[in-house]
Chain A
Amino acid sequence: MTRFLRTPDFTLAAIALLGFVVLAFATSGNLLSAGTLGAFFRFLAVPVVIGLSQMVVLAVGQMNLSVGALTGFCAMAAAWLMLEAGLPAPVAVLAALALGLGVGLINGLLVVFTRINGFIVTLATMTIIQGLRYGVNGPDTFQGYSAGLRAFGRASVLGLPVVFLCALVVAGLVGWFFARTVAGRRLLASGGSPFAARLSGISNDRSLVVAHGLSGLLAGVAAVITVAASGSVNASIGDDLLLPSFAAPIIGGVALAGGMVSVTGTVLAAFLVRLVDVMQAQFGINPRWIDLIIGAVVLGAVLLGTVRQRLHDRGSTA
């Protein structure tokens, strides 16, 4: 416990909690009303999952620029399967997950076999996927698919939307994967010191493929959440996910160099960004100022973390 108090996660958690409480008071409790809280968490699910999707590849020192486009593509594909191909929702959901996984694996294989920088590979596949995403239904919107799926997207348990709980479960699984499984540890070893990992008989190539595959699968999960929670999808889905996908893990303390992950940090960072969103709606802040505020909050959160770290270091050496 005392160890946790010193981590950057704690700083983030403290800021997030403080922000939440302050906002709750400032809105005289409106934030805590069922509707508001529901909206708050429902739209937190996708940022969390997409942040994790990026985190998984960051762990092996790669980037995945295609996460957003892939989420959109999987969402469109799922909707198409239900509306045009007339398949039942569970099949469409599984198909979306499989599609995400498949495209992710292709990303990974391309990175391994061509030895081209992952940044460029995923940039290229991003444009390809954007084309495919648009190809599904042009610029038009899909609507009115499976009532069951939409009910699932709107359902809540104890005031928390089911989709958000799903995202938390996914986050827990990802955390467990990296902390406890052999495959997860191997990914981190490859990311941290590829050469040392190789000397220990770990195949870095396999790590790359696994990481990209997992990233794609998580994009598929984000797609399913989107389809379920939003009730309508079109080719623009995923366009605003690229930056948040990086912002959440990096604000959460994940290094771009690879070798480490922080699931709690990623979730908390996504939470923090969402808080700012909601604040805008609650106070009707001039939208022109909102970006300024997000910038300031993000910077402030990270700065505070470093200051704490410094104070802590000084305290322990003196």
Chain B
Amino acid sequence: TKKSDNDESAATSRGPEQVKIALIPGGAHPYFQPWKDAAATAKTELKLGDVTFNETSDWDQTKQNDVIKSLAAQGYNAFGIFGVSPENINSTFEDLKRQGFAVGSLASCPAGDVDKADFCLSTDTGEAAYKATKTAIEAIGGQGTIAHLTGNKVDSNTQRRIEGVQKAVDETGGKVKVIQTVTDIDTDLQSAQKAVADLLAAKGKQINGIVTTAYNPAVAAAEGVKQTKLPIKVIAIDDDKTILDGIKDGAVAGTVVQNPVGQASVGSYALMKLSGGCTIAQPGVVIDSGSFVVTKANVDTYDQERQTKTNELKTAFDGQYLVCK
């Protein structure tokens, strides 16, 4: 006979000082660095028991699960997670939920239509890729060819990005074509540089724009185009210093930035509320944390726009997504 296992998942209500939040990215990546500060800020502002940031999972789902369990063993009771493998992460969420923890899926949603976390606060990757491609199309004058450089092909986020790019291209009614999609070059900078050099050597003259939807390809593309002096418009991703510098000196035509700070701070806020007895109105709800096109024109001011979005998100949680007694 099997014991019933619902005996422990009864939600407990914790005061803010009892809430210990763990923010867990998929691995070491510049994108997540703002989480570190946001975590510290959240801790002091919300007077939480603790907020930690742990990037040791090394882009391996098994290791990430280990890290999560270790943190749980350490007494952390609310989790904001970027799942390494969107396909598998629901199981991890389910596991945590069974133990009565508040769980937010941050910066990436599980693959498929089901989300076992309380909520998913992430960039709509398809939408961001769409915006990036739109920007690229605009930059090349609405006509020509673009190449798309991205990351791990066995990842559903990558599939969404490819779809997003395609959508924007389709809208031009054939005036713009995707000449090539290069995947799997986000693992390390060298592969990205090599791939960019080969691509430019083979088709540099036919390419008008490059859309990159992963970090290493973005750095490599900016550098590669600058070196070959080809008139190619590069659309990068995120706002790492190297990329912002590129925008300022013209090597990069634009970038699509996401909202990591918002994800971490609003995510922490929501996790605190959920731990404190609130429930989510629509479990598994997907919330876009926003994506913003940055070009030379708004490179110094885009952050205000982003902060506005962050504040909106917080209000939306209070008024819309959370149900508190």
Chain A residues at the B interface, C-beta cutoff of 8 Å: 27, 30, 33, 35-36, 38-40, 42-43, 46, 134, 138-141, 143-144, 154, 226, 230-241, 277-278, 280-282, 284, 287-288
Of B64-72, B104-112, B193-201, the one contacting chain A is B193-201
Among B32, B153, B201, B242, point to the contact of A281 (Cβ < 8 A).
B201
Q: List 21 A-B contacts (CB under 8 A).
A: A27-B202, A33-B201, A35-B200, A39-B197, A43-B194, A138-B33, A139-B29, A140-B242, A141-B219, A141-B242, A144-B245, A232-B189, A232-B219, A236-B188, A236-B189, A237-B190, A241-B190, A281-B195, A282-B198, A287-B153, A288-B153
Pick from A36, A39, A42, A139: contact of B30, CB below 8 A. Answer: A139
Determine which residue in B29, B202, B241 has the highest number of CB atoms from chain A within 10 A of its CB, and name it. Answer: B202
Interchain CB contact (< 8 A) of A230 among B28, B189, B198: B189
Distance in Å: Cβ of A105 to nearest Cβ of chain B? 25
* Segment from B118-126, B179-187, B300-308 that makes contact with A: B179-187
Q: CB distance A238 to B190 under 8 Å? A: yes
Q: How far is the CA of A235 from the CA of B188 in the complex (A)?
A: 8
Pairwise interchain contact B242-A138, C-beta atoms closer than 8 A: no
Tell me whether B74 is interfacial, beta carbon within 8 Å: no
B241 neighbours in A (Cβ, 8 Å): 140
Rounded to whole angstroms, the CA-CA distance of A288 and B182 in the bound complex is: 10
CB distance from A212 to the nearest CB of B (A): 23
Structural contact, A35 and B28, CB atoms closer than 8 A = no
With the chains together, A235 CA to B58 CA distance in Å? 13
**A282: nearest residue on chain B (CB-CB)?**
B202
Say yes or no: A278 contacts B190, CB within 8 Å: no
What is the number of residues of chain B that contact chain A, defined by CB distance less than 8 Å? 38
In the complex, B95 has a CB within 8 A of chain A = no
Interface residues of B in 167-211 (CB under 8 A from A): 179-184, 187-191, 193-195, 197-204
17 further interface pairs, Cβ-Cβ under 8 Å (given A139-B32, A143-B245): A33-B201, A39-B197, A134-B28, A140-B33, A141-B189, A232-B220, A234-B216, A234-B219, A238-B190, A239-B187, A239-B188, A240-B187, A277-B198, A278-B198, A278-B202, A281-B198, A284-B179
- Kindly state whether residue B288 has any CB partner on chain A within 8 Å: no
Which residues of the other chain, B, contact A240 by a CB distance below 8 angstroms?
187-188, 190-191
Binding site for A on B (CB under 8 A): 28-30, 32-33, 153, 179-184, 187-191, 193-195, 197-204, 216, 219-220, 223, 227-228, 240-242, 245
State the CA gap A235–B187 with chains docked (Å): 11
Please measure, in the bound complex, the distance between the C-alpha atom of A237 and the C-alpha atom of B188, giving whole angstroms: 6
B-chain residues with CB within 8 Å of residue A287 when the two chains form the complex: 153, 181-184
Identity of the chain B residue whose Cβ is nearest the Cβ of A241 in the assembled complex: B190
Chain A residue with minimal CB distance to B186?
A236
Q: How far is the CA of A280 from the CA of B30 in the complex (A)?
A: 29
B202, A232: Cβ atoms closer than 8 Å? no
Alpha-carbon separation in the docked complex, A38 to B240 (Å) = 29
Residues of B contacting A231 in the complex (Cβ-Cβ under 8 angstroms):
223, 227
Residues from chain B with a CB closer than 8 A to the CB of A232 are 189, 193, 219-220, 223, 242
- A154 x B28 contact (CB < 8 A): no
Which A residues touch B245, using CB under 8 A? 143-144
Given contacts A154-B227, A287-B153, contact A230 B193 (CB under 8 A): yes
Which of B32, B197, B203 interacts with A42 by CB under 8 Å? B197
Q: Is the CB of A284 within 8 A of B180?
A: yes
Docked complex Cα distance between A140 and B34 (Å): 12
Query: B197's contact among A43, A237, A284, by CB below 8 Å, is which?
Result: A43
With A43-B197, A234-B189 as contacts: A281 and B202 at CB distance below 8 Å: yes
Contacts of B181 on A, CB cut-off 8 Å? Answer: 287
Say yes or no: A226 contacts B202, CB within 8 Å. Answer: no
B241 → A minimal CB distance (Å): 7
In angstroms, Cα B147 to Cα A300, docked, is 32
B227 and A138 contact, CB distance less than 8 A: no
Report if A35-B201 is in contact (Cβ < 8 Å); known contacts: A138-B28, A233-B189, A288-B153.
yes
Best-buried of B30, B193, B223 by chain A (most CB within 10 Å): B193
Contacts of B187 in A (CB 8 A): 236, 239-240
Q: Are A36 and B189 closer than 8 Å at their CB atoms?
A: no
- Among A35, A46, A278, the residue within 8 A (CB) of B204 is A35
* B190 adjacent to A39 (CB under 8 Å): no
- State the CA gap A232–B203 with chains docked (Å): 23
